Every structure is written in C-alpha cells, then in structure tokens.
Structure 1
C-alpha cells in the first residue's frame, strides 16, 4: 500500500498512527502543503478530493478521507468495537471530529503554523476560534472525566481520530490545555499504546 500523507497534518498523522499501532507496512509518500510533490500527486490523479491523506491499495484503488481510511484499515481489529451500539458511538465521535472539532482546533493551528495562511490570522478570528475550541475541548473533557476512553472499555478509532489534532492543540493551536486534566490523562493513555508514534515519527 501507499499512503499519500501531508507530514504536518493531523488528518494524515492519525492514519500513520493507526498503521503503526496495527503493525501494517505501508509506503509513505510525503505531499506537504504547497509542495511540488503535492502538485504532482494531484496532476497524476492520486488525490480524488484534491487533498491528503489518500490510501492507495495494492490493486490500485484509491481511498480518500482520513476517517474512511481508518475504518477500512481497522476492520476486524480491536480498534472497532464488536458491540453494535458502541461501534455506532465510535462513528458518532468520528463524525463529530470532522464536522466540529477539526474545523476549529485544526484551523486555528493552521493559521498559526503555515506562513501562507497567516494573513488570515486576524486577532478577531483567532479569538473566535479560541473560544469555540475551548468549548469543544470541554465536551471531550466532560466525557473523559467519567471514563478512560471515548467509547467502550478500550481504545477505539474514536480515540485515534480525535488524538490527531487534540494532542497538538496546545503547542500548535495555543489552546489552554491546563484546563483539561482528563484530556491530558487520555492523551497519555493513547501515547502509551504499543506501537504509538508521534507526529514526527
């Protein structure tokens, strides 16, 4: 398999993390933002939606979207709960991650991290994202105050999915993570999973 992966992106990182946790071999093709490699991958039709990550299977089929890739890779593994309701809960958190969390937590980090986006990082925009991000993180905090994992009794795709951008919310996004002790304990639990690799791993 080949993974077209943007090295600095949490969406790409969570796929690389799952591959490592599963011990799966995969060729990684770096397609960083605004790079020649990204332009080449687009020109060759490797990125159906115009962005990374995309998993290219051994038979040539292309699977875009990080959470779809996670679901395909983890099928039959312990990261997908056997119980139907718990599995649906997992998917709910994954949908929420893309629909709510990623569009705030990742966007604020991107405005601060990528030089080509800094012109959009007005004080008003950053303040708005900070307030909204803290509210979203509080939803996770409330959930994790009562349990070790987002769903069920073990790590699932919900945890891997939300770890992608949450683990760097403080360092890259400037969110005040001292407000979220349950999230911080959860981040430590994910980091302790066998096979864990960091964003730069």
Structure 2
C-alpha cells in the first residue's frame, strides 16, 4: 500500500491498471476500475473516522476545546469534530493533488504509524525491565522480548521509508503530516495545560497519571 504513494509510479501504471490491462475483459476492467475508486475512498473514510475519535477523546481530556464533544441531536455524532476533520482532510488532499498529482501521496504518512508502534514496543520493554509494576517473571520476560522485537521491526520499516523514498513513496507532504501531528500534539497539550491550570486550577496531566493498584 505504501508504494502507492509514489506519484512517479502510480500516476498511470499501478497494480489496478496492470490488472485491467491483463484481464482482457471489458466488464472485469470496469469492475476493477470501480473497485479501485471505492478502495481509495474507503481508506480515506476510515482515516477520517479514526481521526475524529481522537479529537473527541482529547476534548474530553480538556486538551481540545469542549465544543468538540458536542453531539448532534439528529445524528448522534460529534459534528464539530467531523467538520474540523473534513477541513483538514480536504486541505491535505488538495495539497497532494496540486504538488504530486494524486492524493495517494499521503500514504507516505504510514511512517507515522510505524513510529507509533515502535514507541509502543519501547514502552513494553521499559515496563518489562522496570520494577514499578509487580508481575511474574514469565510475563515480564514476554513483555521485554515482544517489545524488543516490535521495536526492531518497526525501526527497520521506518528506516526503509526514510532510506528509499522512491520505492515507498516518501515525500515532504507525507513527512510534514507526520511531523506536524507530533508538533501540534505537543503544542496543544502544553497550551491547554497552562490554560486549564490558570483558569480552572485543573492540571490535565493528572489524566495521564498511572493509577496505582489497590
């Protein structure tokens, strides 16, 4: 999937068009063509839905304005969070189309997910080797080993993305999305924490504090 983000390769020739040419049947060609469009739309829709859940949850944690937690009485969904996500999605698709000729250029942002899972692996290792939580040796060893393997695999895949952008479709827009998400998260959390402490006397850092076992 990541290779689709290489606009120099997938503008005309990709596995959809190759399959259409190889089929030799007009009906099958149309089925493949329609399937390719719905495939792309499904991926974008899934990404939009997942992103809205983050906006919604962060608003509950007071990181984002509480307005984003408002549910539409008619549809029962966070309508304002959806509108913001729609604006961001349309902007990114437009930029991808203008600079790279295809919105699949955004697939290079898959690297962000790889880095996320790499962080999860590092967290598992730290928990496994740490002494803060009481657990059996078997569970501790399992966490440490699985975390180390996860970190190694995700680090290698991230390296592949960065070292061979012509193959995996790395581009500055995709990298900018990943970096922008990290920077936005840090800035939003910092500003929100300061505002909530000064205005309400609430430290939102408590939300992310580990609850000690009873």
Instruction: Report the TM-score range of the alignment, normalised by the length of the smaller protein.
Output: 0.3 to 0.5
Q: Which has the larger radius of gyration?
A: 2
TM-score, normalised with respect to structure 2: 0.35
TM-score (norm 1): 0.36
More helix by share: 2
